[in-house]
Amino acid sequence: MISLDNYIPKKLDNITIVYKYNSFYNPLYLLNYFIKNFYKKNFIHNFNNTLNFSNIYANLFYKVFKNHKFNLYLPFENRPHQNLIIDATKKISKNNKVFGYYHRMPEPLQSEMFYKNSLLDKLFVCSKIQKNVFCKLFNWPESKIKIINSIRYPILLKRKNYIFLPFNIKKDNLFAQNLKSYLEKTKSSIHNFKISIHPLKKKNKAHVALSEKIKKEFIKTKSNKKNLNLPIILGEPGSTASEMLETNKCVVHISDNYLDIFSGKIWKNIKVQNIHKNIFIYKKKNEQTLLKRNGRLDNFSDILRN
């Protein structure tokens, strides 16, 4: 078995952990790479950093493991480096099996997951609704996808009185204005709310500034209005909206980007209500789960047994 993510099992028999060393910039390599691809028909597609580094990883992977027979398990999001490593695995031996794991919860638009690598033997997902979307909209063969309990999320924490800031902040005034509109429309208060900033953005000036602005204008302001008891997501929802729907059944989403907004036509068990410009309410329509989980930390062993 070969692990290509951060998962390190307790038992390390027959396991190789592959990791990347830091490397220096080489202008001669860049020139050679340019010349090598310049006369190809798909030059624009090939001459970019993403594909370049993906080829480097795949070539290194092939050189290291070309004399070995193995099964490959990897977190899978249809990225170029993942697909090229899958290609390399099958090039080493057609008998090598490749199993992908889609660890994310449902998100509004997952177009990167269109089916394009038939060499992947099996893709593990964590809900029936996720499998249905991949098969019906993104052309995945049903035989390629298996539903398992989540490895990433053994449990979900119930967080009601939270405001979740987006990973990228481009229009902080838009969030503040729409938050004000929503509170006025529903005659609600959020003075008991907490603000959640992505761990990688804790020291980011824009995130700190927006957090302080919301605290000053809405959270620390005394009000006789009723306390809101729903989580609020600003900007791109990522997997947070699904997580909140699983635990709270309902969530408020503020965004002006239609690509970040859930569609009830795609996600059949989510009711989407546009109550005001840029303000949406999501409600879970039935008990069909968005994430299959059993509270265990060892679900990876279930994959190995199958």
| Sequence-ordered alpha helix ranges (H) in 66-171 | 80-92, 128-137
Supply the pLDDT for residue 78.
Answer: 94
Residue 267: strand, helix, or coil: coil
CB 279 within 8 A of CB 254: yes
pLDDT in tens, 15-66: 555 555 555 556 776 667 666 666 666 666 666 677 777 888 898 899 999 9
pLDDT digits (tens, 9 = 90+) for 116-170: 889 999 999 999 999 999 999 999 999 999 999 998 888 898 888 999 999 988 8
**Rounded-to-integer distance, Cα 1 and Cα 33, Å:** 33
Domain boundaries, the chain: 2-121, 162-284
Q: Residue 242 to residues 60, 161, 210, 258: CA-CA distances in angstroms?
A: 37, 16, 24, 17
Give the pairing type, strands 162-164 and 279-284: unpaired
The two tokens of residue 300 are: 């990876």
Percent of the chain whose pLDDT exceeds 70: 83
Is residue 53 helix, strand or coil? Answer: helix
Distances (CA, A) of 259 to 109, 177, 245, 253, 255: 7, 21, 19, 13, 9
Identify the burial level of 210 via C-beta atoms within 10 angstroms of its C-beta, where 0-12 means exposed, 13-18 middle and 19 or more buried: buried
**Per-residue pLDDT tens for 197-227?**
998 999 999 999 999 999 998 987 777 788 8
Average pLDDT over the chain, rounded to an integer: 86
The number of beta carbons lying within 10 Å of the beta carbon of residue 66 is 11
Distance CA 18, CA 85 (A): 12
> What are 280's two structure tokens?
């949406």
- pLDDT one-digit tens code per residue, 222-251: 777 888 889 999 999 989 999 999 999 999
